[in-house]
Amino acid sequence: MASDIYVALSGQLATELRLSTVANNVANMRTAGFRAEVVSFDTVLSDYRRDQVAFANVGDAFIDRSLGPIEATGNPLDVAIAGDAWFGIETPSGLAYTRDGRFTIDNEGELRTLTGYRVADEGGAPIQLLPGGGPVSIGSDGTIAQDGRNLGVLGLFDLPAGAVLTRYGDTALVSDLPGEPVVDRAANGVRQGYHEGSNVDPIQSITELIEIQRAFDRAETAAKDRFSSLEQAVRILGAD
């Protein structure tokens, strides 16, 4: 089969990955704490040879760590990070990290995410509050107080720049390198009564979605045209 058909098909596979990635970003434009996923492509230059075929590369997907907008909610259990750190949460797969600071208190007084995971303190242990113990106060350094008593400190973690992040649900991430507890709470503090929105750029993402769909359609048309040409050539040669 002609190599140009395989090239067109490889282009479709590459654009399909980008299409699904951007579509998921668009679907989570309003998801608090969501981090967009980006597909990167590397261009490799080589000496041209007549027997050489250049296929499209599907690229590598990675999590965009850029910050999302901080929005006021007035809810005392909503907490936004003012800096570049992450909350730690306990999951069945171990400690995961999130920027989604919309918390709640369960019947036993444990601080949890809206999805039910326990929120970790700076040592990675769960945070125990007083059920029915009155309003919760959270300082800019993450200190949690209730009924005039300090009950713990919200864990903030710094993820290494080279860590590979894998999505865990909609807003949590698992890192292949462990996060380090944040010591400098002046540069990486928290704001009570706020939460962080998605870092997806709506206009850019929708524009990309349209462009990728058009690229996919062009690759599909090219493959169909080539198939049609081959079929016509076979019919002509068969007639001879």
8 A C-beta contact, residue 202 and residue 65 = no
Q: What distance lies between CA 140 and its chain's CA centroid?
A: 26
Residue 91 has pLDDT above 90, yes or no: yes
Residue 71 has pLDDT above 80, yes or no: yes
Residue 13: predicted pLDDT: 67
pTM, whole model, 2 decimals? 0.78
Q: Give the residue with greater pLDDT, 100 vs 213.
A: 100
- pLDDT classification of 7: cutoffs 50, 70, 90: low
| Residue 226 backbone class (left: φ over 0; alpha: ψ -120 to 50; beta: rest) | alpha
Over residues 128-141, the pLDDT tens digits come to 998 878 899 999 99
Number of H helices, E strands in the chain: 2, 18
Residue 45: predicted pLDDT: 42
